[in-house]
C-alpha cells in the first residue's frame, strides 16, 4: 500500500523514480544480452554445422576458433580506427622535440599568397635564391637538399659539378651580391636554382658548390608532406625525368625518383618548404604539385 503525505511517500511500496531506474537497468541488460547473442551467434552456427559430422570436441573447437577470430578482427579494426584518427601515441625518441606552432609562427601571408621570390639575372644565368626553412636547422637542411638532389639527378642525366669560377658555377659570387632592395642572405644557408641564359642548362648552388645538368631533363616536381602519425613527420621531394634511370631502365618507376629532406615536420617549415619548391619548379619551368601521406 502506498500513501502520499506532505510531499513524501510512506508505508512501503515503490517510488515512481525507483521504478523508472529499474526499467532503465532492465533496458540496458536487454541490450547487453542482444549484443552478446549477436557476437556468439556466428560461432554457434559454425559449431552446429561441424559438430554433427565430426563430433562434440570438433564443434567446441570450431566455436572457440570463430570467437577468437572475431575478437582479433574487432581488436585490429579498433586499433586501425584509432591510428587513422591520430590517437596512437608517439614512441619516445632521443631526438629534440619540435615545439608546437604558436601564433608567432604564423606568417603574414598564407602559402598561396606568399610573394614570389624575384627572378634575378646574372652574366650567364637567371636565378632565384631561396630560403628553405627559417630556423636554426637551415644550413644543415639546405646542404642536405643540395646533396640529395645532386645524387638523384645524376642517376638519370650527366651532371657537371664545380666551385666558383668553374663552368658549372653559372651563378657567380658577384651575381649573388645582394641587390639594393633585397636583404643579404648567407650563400651557405640559401639554395640557388638557375637556368642558363641560353636555355641549355639548369642547376643548383649552395655556398661555393654548384652543379648543372641538361635543362628540360626534369619534367615534373612534387613536394610531399609526410604527416606525423606514428613518428615526427618529414618531407619528400620527387623528380620526374624525360629519360629513364641510366642503370635501371626497365624498372616500373624508371622515370621518377625522390628523397626525404630529413627534418621533423612543423607548420612554419611546411609553409617555407612548399613555397621554395614551388619557386624551384617555376625556375625550371616544370609542373608542380603538393601531396600528403602518413609516416606509418
pLDDT for residue 265: 94
Radius of gyration of the chain (CA): 33
% of the chain at pLDDT higher than 70: 71
What per-residue string of b and e applies to 96-127 under the rule 16 or more CB within 10 Å gives b?
A: eebeeeeeeeeeeeeeeebeebeebebebbbb
Grid look-up 639527378 returns 153
Do 148 and 286 fall into the same domain? yes
Is 102 inside any structural domain? no
What Cα–Cα distance (Å) separates residue 163 from each residue in 7, 211, 242? 97, 9, 27
> Could you tell me if residue 99 is inside a domain?
no
**What average pLDDT does this structure show over 96-110?**
42
92 found inside a domain: no
Q: Could you tell me the pLDDT band of residue 198, with boundaries at 50, 70 and 90?
A: very high
pLDDT at 98 over 60: no
Rounded to two decimals, the pTM is: 0.62
Report the range of poorest mean pLDDT among 44-58, 90-104, 204-218.
Answer: 90-104
pLDDT score for 145: 98
Residue 96 has a pLDDT of 44
Question: Residues 258-269: what's their mean pLDDT?
Answer: 95
Range of the domain at 44: 22-84
| Tally of domains within the chain | 2
Residue 263 has pLDDT above 80, yes or no: yes
- Same domain? 52 vs 122: no
- Alpha helices of 170-292 — where are they, by DSSP H? 267-284
Mean pLDDT of 200-212: 97
DSSP 8-state class, residue 64 = H
Q: Are residues 136 and 72 in the same domain?
A: no
Kindly tell me if the per-residue pLDDT of 18 is higher than 50.
no
- Give the residue from 64, 84, 104 where a domain finishes: 84
- H or E stretch including 206? strand 201-206
- Which of 69, 84, 99 is the last residue before a domain boundary? 84
Mean pLDDT for the chain overall: 80
- Provide the Cα torsion 85, 87, 89, 95; round to 10°: 50
Q: Is 134 a residue whose pLDDT tops 50?
A: yes
Amino acid at each position: 500500500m502506498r500513501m502520499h503525505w506532505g510531499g513524501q511517500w510512506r508505508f512501503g511500496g515503490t517510488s515512481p523514480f525507483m521504478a523508472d531506474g529499474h526499467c532503465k537497468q532492465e533496458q540496458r541488460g536487454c541490450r547487453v544480452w542482444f549484443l552478446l547473442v549477436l557476437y556468439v551467434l556466428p560461432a554457434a552456427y559454425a559449431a552446429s554445422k561441424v559438430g554433427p559430422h565430426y563430433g562434440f570436441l570438433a564443434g567446441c573447437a570450431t566455436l572457440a576458433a570463430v570467437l577468437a577470430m572475431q575478437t582479433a578482427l574487432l581488436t585490429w579494426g579498433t586499433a586501425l580506427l584509432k591510428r587513422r584518427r591520430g590517437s596512437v601515441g608517439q614512441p619516445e625518441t632521443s631526438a629534440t622535440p619540435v615545439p608546437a606552432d604558436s601564433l608567432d609562427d604564423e606568417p603574414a601571408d598564407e602559402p598561396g599568397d606568399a610573394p614570389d621570390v624575384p627572378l634575378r639575372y646574372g652574366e650567364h644565368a637567371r636565378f632565384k635564391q631561396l630560403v628553405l626553412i627559417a630556423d636554426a636547422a637551415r644550413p644543415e637542411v639546405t646542404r642536405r637538399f643540395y646533396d640529395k638532389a645532386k645524387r638523384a639527378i645524376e642517376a638519370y642525366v650527366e651532371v657537371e659539378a664545380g666551385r666558383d669560377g668553374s663552368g658549372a658555377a653559372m651563378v657567380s659570387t658577384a651575381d649573388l651580391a645582394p641587390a639594393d632592395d633585397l636583404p643579404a642572405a648567407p650563400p651557405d644557408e640559401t639554395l640557388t636554382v638557375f637556368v642558363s641564359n641560353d636555355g641549355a642548362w639548369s642547376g643548383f648552388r649552395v655556398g661555393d658548390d654548384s652543379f648543372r645538368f641538361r635543362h628540360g631533363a626534369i619534367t615534373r616536381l612534387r613536394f610531399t608532406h609526410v604527416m606525423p602519425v606514428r613518428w615526427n613527420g618529414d618531407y619528400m621531394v620527387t623528380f620526374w625525368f624525360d629519360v629513364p634511370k641510366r642503370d635501371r631502365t626497365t624498372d616500373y618507376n624508371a622515370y621518377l625518383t625522390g628523397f626525404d629532406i630529413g627534418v621533423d615536420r612543423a607548420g612554419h617549415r611546411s609553409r617555407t618548404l612548399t613555397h621554395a619548391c614551388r619557386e624551384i619548379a617555376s625556375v625550371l619551368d616544370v609542373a608542380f604539385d603538393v601531396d600528403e601521406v602518413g609516416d606509418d
